[in-house]
Amino acid sequence: MSRSTAAWFAGAGILAVVRWVLDYTDPSYYDAASLLDYSAVVSQTLAMVATGVALILLWRDPPVRRGSFFLLVGGVGAIAQGLGNLVEDVFDIEAGFWAFAAGSIVMLVSLFAAGVAELTVSSPRRWSGLFLIGGAVGGLLGVGLLIMGVAWVLFSGWIVFTIARSDQPSGRSVVA
């Protein structure tokens, strides 16, 4: 895991929390007219695209792990969800809903599967599965973006912590 992966997860988490906060302004997504309406749509789009990039970067981290394919699929699903949201709500093209819905389902199922697979690995890195499952659960609940955002920010901190621990000259790697 790298610091750039951590940065993408932190950015996605912060954007997801911002989007959740913007819900209290009662934005109009399907008929966006005000700056707050567009801010809510764009923050969700950027949060999902950043989540997708972060998952794909996590997938690319060696070594190849059990369930890592789900990270790639989840990343593609998150990007499809974000772009579908943009197409539907900003450009007012109804077909964007299908990309949003399919991307959401693919991302959530893949996050859960990757999280479960990661928890079965016999290494300290297995605990990253808890964050992935937290992101999936967050996507299913009513306050989902808040839970997902917090999970991603905590995950980014955990990634940085494991990198710092692996840089210590103790002779064993925590991330391996």
Residue 63: the pLDDT is 53
Going residue by residue through the chain, which has 176 residues, state the pLDDT in tens, using 9 for 90 and above.
Answer: 688 999 999 999 999 999 999 988 888 777 778 898 899 899 999 999 999 999 999 998 755 567 789 999 999 999 999 999 999 988 888 899 999 999 999 999 999 999 999 888 877 778 888 999 999 988 777 567 899 999 999 999 999 988 777 765 554 444 44
pLDDT at 1: 66
* Angle between helix 68-89 and helix 35-60 axes, rounded to 10 deg: 160
3-state secondary structure of 29: coil
pTM value is: 0.88
Q: Which two tokens stand for residue 11?
A: 């950015």
Q: Provide the 3-class DSSP secondary structure of residue 63.
A: coil
Q: What's the confidence (pLDDT) of residue 174?
A: 44
Amino acid 62 reads P
pLDDT of residue 55: 94
Which DSSP string corresponds to 92-149?
Answer: --TTHHHHHHHHHHHHHHHHHHHHHHHHTSSSGGGGHHHHHHHHHHHHHSTTHHHHHH
Q: What is the pLDDT of residue 112?
A: 94
d(CA 72, CA 55): 7
